[in-house]
Amino acid sequence: MTAAPATATAPPDDCLARNDWICGDYLATRRHILLDAVLQHLHLTVVSVLLGLVIALPLALVARRWRWAVGPVLGLTTVLYTIPSLAMFSLLLPLYGLSATLVIVGLALYSLTLLVRNILAGLAGVPEEAKEAARGMGYGPLRQLLAVELPLAVPAAMAGLRIATVSAVALTTIGAIVGHGGLGNLIYAGMNAYFKAQVLTASVLCVVIAVAFDLLLLGLERLLTPWRRA
């Protein structure tokens, strides 16, 4: 192989210069950018789903306690779910401005439908005998709810939580429109710069995060319901 004379105009022969889809140099040189984006992504997802859970649980309990509330609660959360994500973030814009809060509130509103529905289904599926046994042991309504009904509703609620979390990971990318999209920011910037390695790496990381959360929640469900492993 003859050594080509190095000229100032010749592009360096590495995958960044070639704009390859898969590029080790990208991973090495942009490690911190990627890490920051992943952390922001995790933060947005976790906080929004937790916020959704904090709102969904009382809503589900209200809907269970007063039957007339079921229709309005399910109707409202379903309507929220129908609003397109780009529109949802835009509608909240006057309230929160270009902030992470905007993305978190938007994602939390999305998770409500899945969470409320599944918690209600879980509570409805608690066997009557279990509740009678609790009453027979002298449990009051609150203790019965906390010690018997909610634990037995965990599997159904967890199914909703898993779907909500996985969807939230994917939807977070749209937050890039307001500059708070975690890995979505990298995808957005990569699109404008035609930077293939950045777009592919960020996209793959999104899917990896979604799968990791799903497995984590599956493990948590098994921990919370030891009686089902018998």
Partner 1 sequence: MSTLGEVWTWLGTGANWAGENGVWHRLVEHVSLTVGCLSASCLIALPVAVTLGHLGRGGALAVNLANVGRAVPTFAVLVLLLLTPLGRHGDWPTFIALVLFALPPLLTNAYVGMRGVDRNVVEAARGMGMSGRQLVWRVEVPLALPLMLTGVRIAAVQLVATATLAALVGGGGLGRIITAGFNLASTPQVVAGAVIVAVFALLLEAVFEVAQRLGPAWVRGRAR
**Which residues contact partner 1 (rule: CB under 8 A)?**
79, 82-88, 90-91, 93-94, 163, 166-167, 169-174, 176-177, 184, 187-188, 190-191, 194, 196, 199-200, 202-203, 206-207, 210-211, 214
Q: Classify residue 5 by its DSSP letter.
A: P
Question: Residue 85: which of 186, 172, 164 has the closest Cα?
Answer: 172
Long-range contacts formed by 72-80: CB under 8 A, 24+ apart: 73/116, 74/116, 74/117, 74/120, 77/112, 77/113, 77/116, 77/117, 78/113, 80/109, 80/110, 80/112, 80/113
Closer Cβ to partner 1, 137 or 207, answer by number: 207
Six-digit token string for 180: 């708070």
Q: How far is the CB of 82 from partner 1 (least distance, A)?
A: 5
Task: Say how far apart CA 111 and CA 131 lie, in whole Å.
Answer: 29
In the bound complex, what is the minimum distance in angstroms from residue 80's beta carbon to partner 1?
10
Pick the closer one to partner 1 by CB: 122 or 184.
184
Nearer to partner 1, 96 or 139 (CB): 96
Minimum CB separation from partner 1 for residue 67, in Å?
Answer: 20
Rounded Cα distance between 103 and 99, Å, is 7
Minimum CB–partner distance for residue 119 and partner 1 (Å): 19
Measured from the CB atom, is 144 or 185 closer to partner 1?
Answer: 185
Give min distance, CB of 61 to partner 1, in A.
Answer: 27
Nearer to partner 1 among residue 52 and residue 184 (C-beta) = 184
